[in-house]
Amino acid sequence: MVAVQTVNATLPLVSGGWSAEKDFKAVGALSGATQRNLEPVGPYFLAHARRARHGRTFSEDERIQAQNTAKKTEEDENDDISDSEDAMLLSREAKDWKSQDHYAVMGLAKHRWRATPDQIKRAHRKKVLRHHPDKKAAMGDRDENDQFFKCIQKASELLSDPVRRRQFDSVDEAAEVEPPTKKEAAAKGKFFKLWGRVFESEARFSKIQPVPLFGDDNTTQEELENFYNFWYNFDSWRSFEYLDEDVPDDNENRDQKRHIEKKNANARRKRKTEDITRLRKVLDDASSQDERIKKFRQQARAGKDKKRLDKEAEAKRLAEEKEKARLEEEQRKKDAEEAAKADREKNKKAKEAAKNAAKKNKRVVKASVKDVGYFAEGEPSAAQVDSVLTDVDLIMGKLEAEDLASLAERLTAAGKDAGAVKNVYVEEVKRLVGAGKLKEGEAKSFA
């Protein structure tokens, strides 16, 4: 950047007595004048041609150009705030501002509660350019009715105030979207679009943002449950103050003022209750038509049926295993009983056989002493027979079955040799005495 430098210089003073008439000297001369034709170019040529074509004066042309510029400015303003103005809208009375559609007055009917503060400002500027009384007069409109302009001012004032705008939005029926009928929603590809618009419209009243979306056919069960849970517990900021009856500002009739305030409060509560009921009905209609709910219920039912069938199958398997175990246990007990019975029979037979063998062996033992005449010389006496048999019974009483069989076997081998038989008894007595089963000298016949 070039720096600017200021130089202070003082011009030389004119010498005293200097005058232009006598002291000025020309150092050159001007050439003679030459006449030439000049033509306007650029915008100046266009302005000249326009005036010449229409026969306008400069002031007339400037006024018409100003009007065209203003009109072009209006048209260049965002087309999204250029709603048409019908005769009924233009004929509105300013005193009926409370019943008018402020968004329609401002040209924002298709935006409504979505309109930004910047759009509201631009819409107001555009409406003022078109309907200002001075502007109308400049355009030759001598109609002095400025009611619609007052409506514009009132709409701009209300929509620019966030609190008052919310009050109006709370009762803006034109922004409501009617729920589709069952037939309309059943049309192919229409269900999610139509119901989505309804809940998008209702979502503007939610204190909690963002609001769950209605979704589509790909919505998960968890998302769908969250959606309906949110809406069935919807927390709305709608308060309906905009519809309140005007409260008188004077302080003369306080009772009347309190009466109107109480009446307004009751009306708000009633409208709030009616709005909650209305929204519940909308939800009931939507859920009754929502095929996703039916699909998830069928899936849940199928899952429950599968669990039930699996549970029944498991119970059946356990019952079969239990029955099998019972039958096996019964068979085991039966086999055990049969085996025990067979053992008992076998033991019984063995015992009987042993008993019979023991009887036989006892007969052999008793017969052995009888065959040798009870060890007597000649005919034995009764006392002698009794003594020998008593000792034989004593010995047999001390013997086990095996020992008795061994004794009988040896006695059989001894035959009728009295000495050999007696020796067999003597040896057996000695064995029993040695085993502690007999006392010394207890079997006297074989001592």
Per-residue pLDDT tens digits for 177-219:
999 988 888 887 889 999 999 999 999 999 999 999 899 999 9
Q: Is residue 221 in a domain?
A: yes
The answer to whether position 384 is within a domain reads yes
For residues 187 and 282, membership in a common domain is answered with yes
Q: Are residues 337 and 377 in the same domain?
A: yes
> For the residues 148-168, what does the mean pLDDT come to?
92
Looking from the CA of 274 toward its CB, the CA atoms found within 13 Å total 9
> According to the model, what pLDDT value does residue 1 have?
45
Q: What is the pTM of this model?
A: 0.53
Q: Indicate whether 91 and 146 sit together in one domain.
A: yes
Would you say residue 127 has pLDDT above 50? yes
Asked whether residue 164 falls in the same domain as residue 224, the answer is: no
Residue 131 and residue 204 share a domain = no
Please count the other Cβ atoms lying within 10 Å of the Cβ belonging to residue 126: 21
Q: What is the pLDDT of residue 128?
A: 86
218 within some domain: yes
- Asked if the model's pLDDT at residue 426 lies above 80, the reply is yes
Range in 124-133, 194-203, 233-242, 272-281 with the lowest mean pLDDT: 124-133
Task: Supply the pLDDT for residue 287.
Answer: 92
Q: Is 231 exposed, middle or buried (0-12, 13-18, 19+ CB in 10 A)?
A: buried
Q: How many domains does the chain have?
A: 3
For residue 392, what are its two tokens? 């034989």
pLDDT-derived band at 263 (thresholds 50, 70, 90) equals very high
Percent of residues, the chain, with pLDDT higher than 70: 90
Residues 266 and 349 in one domain: no
Over 60: is that where the pLDDT of 14 sits?
A: yes
pLDDT reported for residue 278: 94
pLDDT above 70: residue 139 = no
Task: For residue 236, give the DSSP letter.
Answer: B
Rounded to the nearest integer, the mean pLDDT of the chain is 83
362: domain CATH number? 1.10.8.840
Q: Give the C-alpha separation, 109 to 86, whole Å.
A: 13
User: In the listed set 289, 323, 344, which residue is the last one of a domain according to the structure?
Assistant: 289
Q: Domain range for residue 202?
A: 182-289
- The Cα-based distances of 72 to 44, 69, 130 in angstroms read 21, 5, 11
Q: How far apart are CA 238 and CA 229, in angstroms?
A: 20
Assigned domain for 433 exists: yes
Per-residue pLDDT, 121: 93
Quick check: 389 and 376 in contact, CB under 8 A?
Answer: no
Which of 175, 208, 232 corresponds to the end of one domain?
A: 175
Q: Are residues 335 and 266 in the same domain?
A: no
In this structure, are residues 381 and 433 in contact, taking their beta carbons and an 8 Å threshold? Answer: no
List the structure tokens of 374.
């009870």
User: What digits encode the pLDDT tens for the residues 345-392?
Assistant: 888 887 888 788 888 888 887 787 777 777 777 788 888 778 888 878
Contact 215, 200 (CB under 8 A): no
Residue 324 and residue 436 in one domain? yes
**Residues 417, 329 share a domain:** yes
Q: Taking a C-beta distance cutoff of 8 angstroms, is the pair 391, 445 a contact?
A: yes
Q: The domain that contains 121 carries what CATH number?
A: 1.10.287.110
With cut-offs at 50, 70 and 90, classify the pLDDT of residue 252.
low
Instruction: Identify whether 23 is part of a domain.
Output: no
**Residue 292 pLDDT class (50, 70, 90 cuts):** very high
Same domain, 441 and 330: yes
Residue-level pLDDT at 134: 74
More confident call, 83 vs 123 = 123
> What's the whole-number mean pLDDT along residues 212-235?
92
Give the residues across from 236 on adjacent strands: 206
Where does a domain end: 271, 289, 307?
A: 289
Per the domain annotation, does 41 fall within a domain?
no
One domain, residues 161 and 201: no
- Tokens describing residue 79: 């087309």
Q: Which of 71-80, 107-116, 396-405, 436-445 has the lowest mean pLDDT?
A: 71-80
pLDDT for 71 beyond 80: no
Residue 143 is assigned to a structural domain of this protein = yes
pLDDT(434) > 90: no
Q: Is 53 part of a structural domain of the chain? A: no
Burial class (CB in 10 A: 0-12, 13-18, 19+), 165: buried
Residue 156 and residue 191 in one domain: no
Locate tokens 């049969």: which residue? Answer: 338
C-alpha span between 428 and 399 (Å, rounded): 10
